[in-house]
Amino acid sequence: MGMTYSSTRGMEKGVTASQAILKGIASDGGLFVPDRLPRLFAGGGADGAAGTVTLPDAPAVAGAAPGGGAPEGPGAADGGGGALIPLGALAGMDYREVAFAVMRPFLADYTDEELKGCIDKAYDDKFDTPAIAPLRKVRFPAGGSGSAGDGQGAAESPGPGALGQARRPDWPGGVGAPSYDAFFLELFHGATIAFKDMALSILPHLLTVAAQKNHVGEKIVILTATSGDTGKAAMAGFADVPGTEIIVFYPKGGVSRVQELQMTTQKGSNTHVVAIEGNFDDAQTGVKKIFADKGMGALLLEKGCRLSSANSINIGRLVPQVAYYVYAYGQLLRGGEIEPGDGINVVVPTGNFGNILAAYFAKGMGLPIKTLICASNDNKVLFDFFQSGVYDKNREFILTDSPSMDILVSSNLERLLYLSAGRDAKLCADLMAGLSGCGEYHVTPGMRAHMADFWGGFANQDEAGAAIGRVFGDNGYVIDTHTGVAAAVYGKYLAQTHDATKTVIAATASPYKFSVSVVKAIRGTQQSACPAGTDRSSGGAWGKTGGSSPGAGTPVAGGGVASGDEFASIEALHALSGVPIPQAIEEIKTAPVLHHKVCSVEEMADAVKEALGL
C-alpha cells in the first residue's frame, strides 16, 4: 500500500496524501504525519550522522534507479525493497530532480505526471536564479560568534550547484587562523523573497490536483495565520486560482512594514487580508479554533465551501521543504566540499518548527545530518524546551527584529512529540491538552533521548545584530535578521563544541525585507533597531505600539538612516552592499493598499464569513 497519514491525536488514520493536503489539519485538531518515513538514500544514516533518528517503519523505496535519479510510479512509497539512491548521485541532480525524488514516496496517490507537472509549474522563472536555492560559503572563526571568509558582496548569483566565491581571504585572527566552513542556503530567491516560497510555490498545484482526485466540488477556502512571510507567499500562490479563496490573518504591528505592504497590496479577486489586534500566537490559535468549529464547518459546506490551510501545519507545506536540505547536500558534493556519506550539521532560525522539522525528516530518510541546531530569538521557548524537557508558553511575548520567529506556540513541534513518543497518539493528545489548558507540558526521558540530535541555542537582538555586522564587515555578505539569529547561535555552538563538521545555515529571507534593522546592524548602531515591544509596521517606520509615525526618514552620511524609514533604508542597504534590490521590493513602493480590515481575535470567525459573503 502507498504512503498514508495519521493524526498526531489519533482520530484519523490511513488518510491519503491528497486527502491530508486538502484537509490541512485533522478533524481532532492534530497534524498529519506519514505512517512511515521512507528510507531514500544509500550511504547515509550512521555514515557520519548521529544516528538517533530511528523512526518505526522506515522501509527502502521501491523503484529508485541504482545509478541515481528518482523512483518511478505511485508504488515507489510501498517500501518493497527497491534500490536506494546513492548519495553521490545527488551531485548530478538539479532542484526539480531532487524535489521529485524526495516528494515521490510521500505523495503516493499522485501519478508521476501529476507530481512532475506540479514541480515544473512551481520551480520556474519565478525564482531569480536557476539554482533555485544556492549555497554561499563563509568561514566562522574558531571560538567566536562572528564569521568571515567567502561571501556574495555584489557578485552575480552562481549557476546550479556552484558555491559563492571568496570576496576576502582574511578573517579575525588573520590568514590561516583556525576556522570552520559553513554554507548559507539561500531560500529567498522566489517571488516573495522568503523561504516560504520554496513550499508555497508548489502547494496550490498540489491542492488543485488533490481536489480533482477527490472529486471535490466545493470552493476551497485557504485559511492562514502568518507571522509575516507565509501570508504573502500563500496569496501569491493562490491569487486568482479558480475554485479557491484565501484569507490571511496577521498581527497588526507584529510584522515589518515591507511584510505588511506585501500582503495589503496583494491583487486577486479571491484574496483577503485581515490584521488582528493581537500577536501571531493569537492569530494561529484563532485559525485552529475556526478549523475545529463544527458549526462553522457545516455552514461552509452548506454554502459550497470547505477549509484548508497553507500554514506549515499542512503536510503539503512540510514535504516540499525536505527537498532543499537534500539539494544542499548535493551542492556540497558537487563543489567538492564533502564526500558521499560525510555528515553535515544544519542550523535553522526557528519559530513554528516546520523548517527544522523538514531537516529532521531528511535525516530520517538517510541524509547524513549529524546535529540539528535550533536557533531561537528572545522568544526562546524552544531553547528552554530542549534544555529542560518542559515546554512552557507562560511568558512574555517579545516583539523583535526577527518577527517570523516571534512565536511561543510552535505548532510543528507536535509532530516531533508524536514521533518521539513512538507514535503514541494518546500521549501526544494529552500533552497538547496540557498546553491548551495550563500552558505547559513535560516530555518523558525517553522522548528527550529521541530528540538528542537537536541542539538548542538562542541569541538576543544585540547578539543577532552583531552577527549581521560581522558577517558583512568580514565578507561583504548581507544576511537578514532571522539568519542573523542563526549565525549568532552557530557561533555559540562552535564556541562550546569546536565541531568542525561542514554546516548548512538556512538563510530564510532577503535582507531587504528587514532593511532598517540590517542597515543599523551593519553600521554598528548601538540602539536596537526594534526595541522590544515596538510596533514594526506603524507608518512605514519603527514606532511605539499605538504611537504615531515619526515620518519618512532620510539617508545620513555613511549610508545610515535617520528615523528608520524602511524605503530609505532599502536604498541605503543597496548603496552599502551593491546587491540588487529585488523586484518584490520595487513593486510595493508604488502599489496601492487594497486590504484595510482590522479585527479582534474574537471577531476572526465573523471576518471569515464576511470575506466569503456568508
DSSP state letter for 428 = H
Residue 314 or residue 168, greater confidence: 314
Give the residue among 298, 235, 321, 314 at the shortest CA–CA distance from 594.
Answer: 235
Instruction: Beginning with the edge strand found earlier in the chain, give each strand of the sheet holding 4-7 in spatial order.
Output: 15-16, 4-7, 32-34
Q: Going by DSSP bridges, is the β-strand pair 4-7/32-34 parallel, antiparallel, or unpaired?
A: antiparallel
Q: Which long-range contacts (CB under 8 A, 24 or more apart) does 608-612 make?
A: 608/221, 608/223, 608/247, 608/290, 608/296, 609/299, 611/245, 611/247, 611/272, 611/274, 612/221, 612/245, 612/247, 612/300, 612/303, 612/305
Residue 487 neighbours by CB distance under 10 Å: 30
Using a pLDDT cut of 90, give the percent of the chain over it: 70
pLDDT, mean of residues 86-108: 97
Most confident region among 63-67, 256-260, 274-278 by mean pLDDT: 274-278
Instruction: Categorize the per-residue pLDDT at 492 as very low, low, confident or very high, splitting at 50, 70 and 90.
Output: very high
Q: What is the pLDDT of residues 411-436, one digit of tens each?
A: 999 999 999 999 999 999 999 999 99
d(CA 533, CA 519): 20
Q: Are 404 and 226 in contact (CB under 8 A)?
A: no
Say if CB 349 and CB 324 are below 8 A apart.
Answer: no
CA 54/CA 363 separation, integer angstroms? 10
pLDDT at 178: 58
- pLDDT at residue 543, rounded to an integer: 24
pLDDT of 71 over the 80 cut: no
The whole-angstrom distance between residue 160's C-alpha and the CA centroid of its chain comes to 21
Q: How far, in Å, CA of 585 to CA of 574, rounded?
A: 12
Q: Kindly report the average pLDDT of the chain as a whole number.
A: 83
Picking from 6, 40, 53, 47, the residue whose alpha carbon sits closest to that of residue 26 is: 6
pLDDT tens-place string over residues 369-410: 999 999 999 999 999 999 999 999 999 999 999 998 999 999
Is the confidence at residue 243, as pLDDT, over 60?
yes
Q: What's residue 210's pLDDT?
A: 95
Highest mean pLDDT among 33-47, 341-355, 555-569: 341-355
pLDDT of residue 566: 83
**Pick from 482, 426, 485: nearest CA to 458:** 485
Return the pLDDT at 142.
58
Pairing between β-strand 543-544 and β-strand 4-7 as defined by DSSP bridges: unpaired
Do the Cβ atoms of 366 and 58 come closer than 8 Å?
no
Mean pLDDT confidence for 300-319 = 92
Model pLDDT, residue 426: 97
Q: Which residues of 192-208 are buried (b: 16+ CB within 10 A; e: fewer)?
A: bbbbbbbbbbbbbbbbb
Supply 508's cell numbers: 530564510
Confidence of residue 358 (pLDDT cuts 50, 70, 90): very high
Nearest Cα neighbor of 147 from 452, 477, 506, 441 is: 477
Query: 524: helix, coil or strand?
Result: coil
C-alpha cell at 340: 558521499
pLDDT at residue 61 is higher than 90: no
Residue 111 has what DSSP assignment?
-
Distance CA 598, CA 129 (A): 37
- Of 208, 194, 285, the closest CA to residue 240 belongs to 208
| pTM, rounded to two decimals | 0.83
Residue for grid cell 542597504: 573
pLDDT at residue 565, rounded to an integer:
79
Task: For cell 507567499, name the residue.
Answer: 233
Which pLDDT value is given to residue 44? 55
